């Protein structure tokens, strides 16, 4: 268990993954009991302003949030979390004493993932938190799969681009090398300087080696160049 503290110099424990926000001590004790039974660490705060600051600092993965509180109300805290968390990495479970359809709709429109109406029992809250945990695991797996798919598409695009570049560069490059080598041989036969032709051949061969390395990329990585730009690393191993 972790509790929120306003002492700036106090050493902080590792960030808790659940934030409990309610100004009713009885509800807080109930939520704490349930979370302890689920083996979850948590922070608690009792108003909306401190809730927003705590979430900004630690980005909790689960927020159990009362709607009616001093300072910012739960709807506004939820809206701020959603604005700062477009990928919905944080699951928001809203606690509300309102049970009208319009009130529940307002909670969902503010960005809540689920809600529990008061009065709430420990058994009911445990069930909702178990559902929240399953959804968080499912969402994390989906995000991981999407990231792996993005990487696979990126690598496929790099491969296709390297094949295209090899084809478009190698053909004219072969012609340049052949012509330069013929001119260099002719210059030697006639006793003429050929230093410039040697430089042309060396640079053309360097381009050819670079294109070849592009075709051998298996796991493209980027490196930072002067000016902060990042580019695919094509240096020789």
Predicted confidence (pLDDT) per residue in 25-60, tens digit: 999 999 999 999 999 999 999 999 999 999 999 999
Say if CB 145 and CB 138 are below 8 A apart.
Answer: no
- Picking from 141, 113, 107, the residue whose alpha carbon sits closest to that of residue 128 is 113
Say if CB 23 and CB 47 are below 8 A apart.
Answer: yes
Q: Give, as one character, the DSSP assignment of residue 230.
A: E
- Picking from 107, 134, 130, the residue whose alpha carbon sits closest to that of residue 118 is 107
Is residue 21 helix, strand or coil? strand
Task: Copy the structure tokens of residue 221.
Answer: 């990585």
CATH of domain 18-120: 3.40.50.2300
Is the confidence at residue 1, as pLDDT, over 70? no
Predicted confidence (pLDDT) per residue in 140-199, tens digit: 788 888 887 777 776 667 667 767 777 778 778 888 888 888 888 888 888 888 888 888
């Amino acid at each position: 268990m972790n509790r929120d503290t306003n002492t700036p110099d106090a050493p902080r424990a590792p960030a808790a993954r659940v934030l409990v926000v309610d100004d009713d001590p009885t509800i807080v004790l109930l939520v704490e009991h349930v979370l302890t039974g689920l083996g979850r660490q948590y922070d608690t705060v009792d108003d909306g302003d401190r809730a927003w600051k705590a979430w900004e600092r630690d980005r909790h993965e689960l927020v159990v949030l009362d709607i009616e509180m001093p300072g910012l109300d739960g709807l506004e805290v939820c809206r701020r979390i959603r604005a700062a968390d477009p990928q919905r990495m944080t699951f928001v479970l809203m606690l509300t004493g309102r049970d009208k359809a319009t009130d529940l709709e307002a909670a969902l429109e503010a960005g809540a993932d689920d809600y529990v109406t008061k009065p709430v029992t420990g058994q009911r809250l445990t069930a909702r938190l178990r559902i929240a945990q399953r959804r968080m695991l499912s969402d994390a797996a989906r995000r991981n799969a999407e990231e792996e798919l993005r990487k696979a598409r990126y690598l496929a695009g790099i491969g296709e681009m390297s094949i295209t570049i090899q084809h478009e560069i190698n053909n004219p490059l072969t012609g340049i090398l052949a012509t330069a080598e013929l001119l260099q041989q002719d210059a030697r036969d006639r006793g003429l300087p050929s230093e410039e032709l040697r430089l042309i051949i060396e640079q053309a061969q360097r381009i050819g080696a670079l294109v070849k390395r592009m075709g051998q990329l298996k796991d493209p990585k980027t490196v930072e160049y002067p000016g902060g730009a990042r580019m695919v690393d094509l240096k020789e191993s």
